[in-house]
Amino acid sequence: MAEHRVPVQTVLAFDFGLRRIGVAAGDTLTRTAAPRAAIVADAGVPDWNAVARTVGDLAPAVLVVGAPYNADGGEGAMSAAARRFAAELERRFALPVHLVDERFSSLEAAEQLRERRASGRQRRRVRREDIDSTAAAIILQRWLAGERER
């Protein structure tokens, strides 16, 4: 019986923000995600050259963007901007873009980083860009676990 192998895909995730965009990369084989350097945004306008470099360097098959919702599940204040960012990613890079509920990902990221610092695994202080990219890794982990936008 022939074995059917699914090709390993690199996946790139983004936690969209008005000042910074957190970035994380992972793959469908290990199903793990790792934070990467955040990308600067100016009043919600991404540094598209930096985004293009990241996409070019990693050659992902899929892109994931965190969809901001309020705690009650309603659309968050950033929802429209994050959707525009996702649509522009799809237009510019001709890759499938998936949205994932990002509720509480930044809080979870901040807690993970505080624990790493307290345990001594991270020496330098936690920066906002660290939180953003760790949040992107959490969003990517959710996608790899099968979560999608509701």
d(CA 10, CA 25): 7
Q: What pLDDT is recorded for position 28?
A: 92
Average pLDDT over residues 30-46: 94
Confidence of residue 4 (pLDDT cuts 50, 70, 90): low
Q: What is the pLDDT of residues 82-127, one digit of tens each?
A: 999 999 999 999 999 999 988 878 888 888 878 877 776 666 676 7
Contact call for residues 23 and 37 (beta carbons, < 8 A) = yes
- Predicted TM-score (pTM) of this structure: 0.87
CATH number belonging to the domain at 10-144, selected among 3.30.420.140, 3.40.50.1100, 3.40.50.2300, 1.20.120.530: 3.30.420.140
Q: What pLDDT is recorded for position 149?
A: 53
Size of the chain, expressed as the number of residues it contains? 150
Average pLDDT, the chain: 88
Q: What is the pLDDT of residues 60-74, one digit of tens each?
A: 999 999 998 888 888
Q: What share of the chain is helix, strand, coil (3-state, %, to 5)?
A: 40, 25, 35
Classify 70 in phi/psi space as left (phi over 0), alpha (psi -120 to 50) or beta. beta
Contact call for residues 132 and 20 (beta carbons, < 8 A) = yes
> What token pair was written down for 31?
């199903």
